[in-house]
């Protein structure tokens, strides 16, 4: 009996020890699960905070999207209005283009008529111009014939006056004022012919002198232009300054007049700076090279 009781006590002790051990293990597990739950709760709270913040941001984004939606709706309405206006404007533009096309067709038709009229006018003008050219050729031939006749008459008159010794008075004197006016633009001059003055033992005579405010034109008249005529005239100008000192401050321009000349002698006279006059359609004319400027002595 005692032995059975001891075995039961022993068994109970073992069962109690196992129970206590199991209870302690369960307690430790429970504590660990509680700690895990606490940690999970903390993480859940953090997550909830993050979700709340995200919800706030989402709400802000939704508000912005709502505002953008309203703006887009307003823009859409404006675009719809603009589109309607553009359609109206396009219709008006199409109408204007149709009017322009009609005007262009009318203009082309008018241009063709104008070109046809111009062609007819050009033909008439061409015919008229040919008639004018033919008339001008006849007139030029007549003028050339008249110049030749005048020149022949003047040359004949020059021969006569040369024989009479009055070439200066009859040919040079009427021509000098016109030539000085045309070539130098001088209107007022005083002319003297056969200007004479005693120089040393000689009585020096100048055929013609034309006195202007700032210059003196001295003329030497010969029937035929020769080289010594040009050379002697240089000396005559130098002598003029000596025997007429009252004109020492005035410029002097030399003019040679002759009935008969040659191109070579005219060029020689130009080299020395002299104007050369000879018989032309207007009594005496300048026959120097075009653009020639006489020397100022």
Listing DSSP states for 205-247 in one string gives EEEEEEE-SSEEEEEEEEEE--HHHHHHHHHHHHHHHHH-GGG
> In the listed set 100, 128, 156, which residue is the last one of a domain according to the structure?
128
Tell whether 15 is covered by a domain: yes
Does residue 198 share a domain with residue 119? no
Tell whether 145 is covered by a domain: no
Q: In a 3-state reduction of DSSP, which class is residue 22?
A: helix
Q: Determine whether 277 is exposed, middle or buried from the number of CB atoms within 10 Å of its CB (0-12, 13-18, 19+).
A: buried
Does residue 192 share a domain with residue 103? no
Which CATH number does the domain housing residue 241 bear?
3.40.1350.10
Does residue 215 share a domain with residue 117? no
Q: What is the count of structural domains for the chain?
A: 2
- Choose the most confident range, by mean pLDDT, from 18-22, 73-77, 135-139, 145-149: 18-22
Does residue 104 share a domain with residue 1? yes
Distance separating alpha carbons of residues 174 and 180, to the nearest angstrom: 11
> In the listed set 128, 150, 173, which residue is the last one of a domain according to the structure?
128
pTM of the model: 0.47
Does residue 61 share a domain with residue 16? yes
Helical H segments across 165-202, by residue range = 167, 173-184
Q: In a 3-state reduction of DSSP, which class is residue 88?
A: helix
Higher pLDDT, 281 or 67: 67
Does residue 281 share a domain with residue 170? yes
Higher pLDDT, 278 or 140: 278
Q: Determine whether 219 is exposed, middle or buried from the number of CB atoms within 10 Å of its CB (0-12, 13-18, 19+).
A: buried
Helical H segments across the chain, by residue range = 2-164, 167, 173-184, 227-243, 263-272
pLDDT, tens only, 152-208: 544 554 454 444 356 767 788 888 999 999 999 999 999 999 898 887 777 889 999
Tell whether 42 is covered by a domain: yes
Residue entry with tokens 């033992």:
201
Residue 191 pairs with which residues in a beta bridge?
A: 210
pLDDT, tens only, 5-27: 777 777 877 888 887 888 888 88
Distance separating alpha carbons of residues 182 and 179, to the nearest angstrom: 5
Q: Residue 185: what pLDDT?
A: 94
pLDDT (average), residues 72-92: 76
Structural domain containing residue 100: 1-128
Q: Residue 142: what pLDDT?
A: 47
Does residue 8 share a domain with residue 115? yes
Containing 185, the helix (H) or strand (E) segment is: none
Which pLDDT band, with edges at 50, 70 and 90, does 211 fall under?
Answer: very high
Does residue 169 share a domain with residue 110? no
Q: Are 216 and 247 in contact (CB under 8 A)?
A: yes
């Amino acid at each position: 009996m005692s032995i059975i009781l001891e075995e039961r006590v022993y068994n109970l002790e073992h069962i109690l020890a196992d129970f206590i051990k199991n209870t302690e293990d369960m307690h430790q597990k429970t504590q660990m699960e509680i700690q895990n739950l606490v940690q999970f709760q903390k993480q859940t709270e953090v997550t909830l905070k993050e979700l709340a913040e995200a919800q706030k941001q989402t709400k802000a984004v939704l508000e912005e999207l709502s505002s953008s939606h309203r703006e887009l709706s307003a823009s859409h309405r404006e675009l719809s209005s603009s589109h309607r206006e553009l359609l109206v404007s396009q219709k008006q533009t199409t109408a204007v283009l149709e009017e322009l096309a009609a005007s262009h067709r009318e203009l082309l038709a008018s241009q063709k008529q104008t070109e046809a009229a111009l062609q007819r006018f050009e033909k008439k003008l061409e015919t008229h111009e040919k008639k004018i050219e033919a008339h001008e050729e006849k007139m030029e031939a007549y003028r050339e014939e008249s110049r030749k006749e005048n020149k022949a008459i003047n040359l004949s008159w020059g021969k006569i006056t040369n024989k009479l010794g009055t070439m200066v008075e009859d040919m040079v004197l009427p021509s000098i004022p016109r030539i000085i006016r045309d070539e130098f633009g001088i209107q007022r001059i005083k002319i003297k012919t056969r200007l004479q003055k005693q120089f040393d033992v000689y009585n020096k005579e100048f055929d013609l002198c034309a006195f202007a405010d700032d210059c003196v034109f001295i003329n030497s008249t010969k029937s035929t232009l020769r080289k010594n005529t040009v050379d002697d005239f240089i000396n005559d100008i130098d002598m003029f300054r000596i025997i007429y000192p009252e004109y020492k401050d005035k410029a002097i321009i030399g003019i040679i007049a002759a009935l008969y000349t040659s191109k070579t002698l005219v060029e020689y006279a130009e080299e020395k700076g002299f104007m050369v006059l000879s018989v032309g359609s207007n009594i005496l004319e300048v026959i120097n090279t075009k653009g020639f400027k006489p020397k100022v002595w």
